[in-house]
Structure 1
Amino acid sequence: MTKLTRKGQVTIPKPVRDHLGIGPGSEVHFRRAADGSIVIEKADGTTRPSRFAKLVGSAGPGPTTDELMELLRGEPE
């Protein structure tokens, strides 16, 4: 939990700073999300890629939809 100082300052927890890739002197941007929550972002608009991003497409092309349907439904009669 973080407390607000009399000057309106807060300390951003280290895991959040690490996730955003920010450090001393970095600029951050606060915005309101559609659901009313407040989002903090690195001011240059870049965020670190998701840890899953590098896995996208790593499984290869795989079978076609028709091949999967045949496998799931069995051989046609």
Structure 2
Amino acid sequence: MSATVTSKGQVTIPKPVRDLLGIVPGTRVDFHRAADGTVVLTRADEKRPTSRFSKLRGHAGEGMSTDAIMALTRGDG
């Protein structure tokens, strides 16, 4: 991915990168120079974006007891 620097020195961060880092308007970012000379962009607040899988985590609510499940598995119920 690439971006063009404006005359003011501004760059639009590509949407896939914004989505990956969870960058939204108002998010602060840091630029770090790595040992190999590359520059790394990170969120300044160290907050990680919510994973698409974490939204699926949870509890289905009250369910059957282990004994009831075992009875169904055995064909007792």
TM-score of the superposed pair, with normalisation by structure 1: 0.58
Alignment of 1:1-77 (within 5 A): 1-48=2-49
CA offset digits 1:19-46 (Å, max 9, x no partner): 0011111100000011110000001123
- Alignment CA distance shift 1:47-1:37 (3 Å): farther
Structure 1, unaligned stretches of length 5 or more?
52-77
Q: Which has the larger radius of gyration?
A: 2
Aligned length: 51
Relative to the length of structure 2, the TM-score reads 0.58
- Pick which of 1-10 and 41-50 moved more: 41-50
Unmatched runs of 5 consecutive residues or more in structure 2: 53-77
Q: Give the secondary-structure state (helix, strand or coil) at the position aligned to 2:31.
A: strand
